[in-house]
Amino acid sequence: MKIEQIRQALEVYRTGSINKAARNLFIVQSTLSTSIRSLEKELGQDIFIRKQNGIEVTEFGKEFFRLGQDMLDTYDQILSLAAKKSCDEKKKKFCISVY
């Protein structure tokens, strides 16, 4: 499972549509569908029930989205922390280059 797959599934959940989510994510619908199916296969659980008029979230999917959002929030916090630390360290360095 990749972080990007969780982001993609959450976007489908938020929009209620694979097509709308694909547009928002700037990817083609078939790529998004393949990614979601791959995620479901890896988990051994369906996240969505595909219907003629859209999608429906499974009970597993509801729990997946709750935990997935928490995971993404934590991941984003870690990235922010790393960026801040990197920026702080760069401020402390002083370098001179000569040829």
Q: What is the pLDDT of residue 72?
A: 92
SS3 57: strand
pLDDT digits (tens, 9 = 90+) for 16-49: 999 999 999 999 999 999 999 999 999 999 999 9
pTM of the model: 0.79
Pick the closest to residue 32 from 15, 8, 49, 48 (CA basis): 8
Mention every residue, 6+ apart, whose C-beta is less than 8 A from residue 32. Answer: 8, 12, 18, 21, 22, 25
Mention every residue, 6+ apart, whose C-beta is less than 8 A from residue 68. Answer: 6, 9, 10
Q: Does the pLDDT at position 83 exceed 90? A: no
